Amino acid sequence: VSVWAGPVWSVSTVGAITVDDFESYNNISPDRSFQAWHDGFGYSADEFFPAGYGGNGTGSGVGHDIWSLSSPHYNGDLMETGLVYSGDQSMPVYYDGAGSQVDLALNSEDWTQSGLQTLSIAFHGTVGNTGQLYAKINNTKILYDQDPADIASGAWLVWLIDLSSVSGLSNVTALSIGIDGADAAGVLYLDEIALYAEAGEVITPVAPGTENRVAHYAFDGDLLDSAGTHHGMINAEAPVFVDGVQGQGIEFLGNQDVTVAYAEDLGLNSFTISTWVSVSDIDGNRGIMGTRYNSDTTFDLKVDANRIHGDVGSGTAWLSTAADYSTPLSTDTWYHIAYVVDEAGGAVRIYLNGVLAETIAISGTPLFMKPDQELHIGNSYGTVEYMYGILDEVSIYNGTLSAAEVASLAGRTMPIYRPF
């Protein structure tokens, strides 16, 4: 059985020590991820591992299947390179069955040194995942203590474990991460496991006020703006209202959108867009909203199969045409997206399901809309980026909402951990 060499440890006071950043793994022995993180399949003996390993007896599998012809990852990478928290790759863990776990053997590490207080584990659940996430430090089992549904959130989260609740930290020889539950199954991605010399904090959801809400479209059988007078008009076929997240939502069939006339209070420099979206056909750009309907350089927001994409301009030039978050999105699945454009902070922040997913730097003065434009909801550009799917609870805010406010809009009621 191999023992992970681990990081270079220092006895001086430090901010953080990396346990595993998953950057050193590849497809070739002895650097395959499942040779360090032991799973239920194990590995065969070779010149580096004469004894081989028969597996840990659980329903876990580390790494993409790159050997089966039927696998979408055939002849590709064991590690995940498209969905990462930091660096260039993360580690996929496939699981099926109660107590599926992966185990990392450590070389007698002292986690009491240097004022260490918190173990941070970055994880990304997949929509449809089931089960209860847990970790083990030596033989001490710790359950994930926030919303159990986070394992299926479809966004990167961090789990901060208070080390004061764990004994025997002067000699840590094993770290395990697993999922409990009789019907537990899915794919979990792991990245950036580190120790920090400070206590963790949480973000507690709080409902935003309505004073800065410029427009709100509940789409409960109409196109009215319940926050003001920016009422919409349907372009082309009559609107179709269907079941939404709250009440009804509006279904777009790829050939119509809702138009809203310019008003002075829509000439925003810092703003937040909040919406629920469920896409029925994701084979192309599916517009959520846009004001750059022709060649204008203002704003649009859209999704495709692998990203949330925005273009942010000043009205005369683009500030960013790649203010994106890369993540796989599924059809007929509700996602909450919040898109925050922060002029003072020089940044775009993208939230998925109430969690900060990406921050993109911008320079200049953004402009949401200018006097000669219309706002299009259900379309982001011209006649080629119509929405196929449902939008619900679309809001436009003057200014930037906080992480706590976005979490509330996404329906979160339990705290989430704040990344270091």
Are both 405 and 262 inside the same structural domain? yes
Do residue 261 and residue 188 come from a single domain? no
Same domain, yes or no, for 166 and 137?
A: yes
Does one domain contain both 405 and 308?
yes
pLDDT digits (tens), the chain, 420 positions = 444 444 444 434 447 999 999 999 999 999 999 999 999 999 999 999 999 999 999 999 999 999 999 999 999 999 999 999 999 999 999 999 989 999 999 999 999 999 999 999 999 999 999 999 999 999 999 999 999 999 998 899 999 999 999 999 999 999 999 999 989 999 999 999 999 999 999 999 999 999 999 999 999 999 999 999 999 999 888 899 999 999 999 999 999 999 999 999 999 999 999 999 999 999 999 999 999 877 789 999 999 999 999 999 999 999 999 999 999 999 999 999 999 999 999 999 999 999 999 999 999 999 999 998 999 999 998 778 999 999 999 999 999 999 999 999 999 999 999 999
Q: Are residues 182 and 249 in the same domain?
A: no
Is omega for the bond preceding 419 within 30 degrees of 0, making it cis? no
Residue 198 exposure: Cα atoms within 13 Å on the Cβ side: 8
Residue ranges making up the domain that contains 311: 213-418
Cα separations in angstroms, 66 against 118, 195, 196:
35, 32, 35
Residues 236, 190: one domain?
Answer: no
- Average pLDDT value over all residues in the chain: 94
Identify the domain boundary among 199, 227, 250. 199
Number of domains in the chain: 2
Task: State the burial class of residue 182 (Cβ atoms within 10 Å of its Cβ: 0-12, 13-18, 19+).
Answer: exposed
- Which of 199, 230, 249 is a domain's end point? 199
Q: Are 179 and 225 members of one domain?
A: no
**Assigned domain for 368 exists:** yes
Do 250 and 179 share a structural domain? no
Q: What is the 3-state secondary structure (H, E, C) of the chain?
A: CCCECCCCCCCCCCCEEEEECCCCCCCCCCCCHHHHEECCCCECCCCCCCCCECCCCCCEEECCCCCCCCCCCCCCCCCECCCCCCCCCEEEEEEECCCEEEEEEEEEECCCHHHCCEEEEEEECCCCCCCEEEEEECCEEEECCCCHHHHHCCCEEEEEEEHHHCCCCCCEEEEEEEEECCCCEEEEEEEEEEEECCCCEEECCCCCCCCCEEEEECCCCCCCCCCCCCCCEEECCCCEEEECCCCEEEEEECCCEEEEECCHHHCCCCEEEEEEEEECCCCCCEEEEECCCCCCCCEEEEEECCEEEEEEECCCCEEECCCCEECCCCCCCCEEEEEEEECCCCEEEEEECCEEEEEEECCCCCCCCCCCCEEEECECCCCCCECEEEEEEEEEEECCCCHHHHHHHCCCCCCEEECC
Asked if residue 4 is part of any domain, the answer here is no
> What is the C-alpha separation between 276 and 336, in angstroms, rounded?
4
Do 275 and 183 belong to one domain?
no
Q: CB–CB of 416/354 below 8 Å?
A: yes
Alpha carbons 266 and 252: distance in angstroms, whole number: 24
CATH code of residue 354: 2.60.120.200
Residues 238 and 123 in one domain: no
Spell out the SS3 assignment of 120-167. Answer: EEEEECCCCCCCEEEEEECCEEEECCCCHHHHHCCCEEEEEEEHHHCC
Q: Clarify whether residues 59 and 143 are in a common domain.
A: yes
What would the pLDDT profile of 238-256 be if each residue is shown by its tens digit? 899 999 999 999 999 999 9
Residue 387 lies in a domain: yes
- Residues 353 and 401 both lie in one domain: yes
Question: What CATH number has the domain bearing residue 35?
Answer: 2.60.120.260
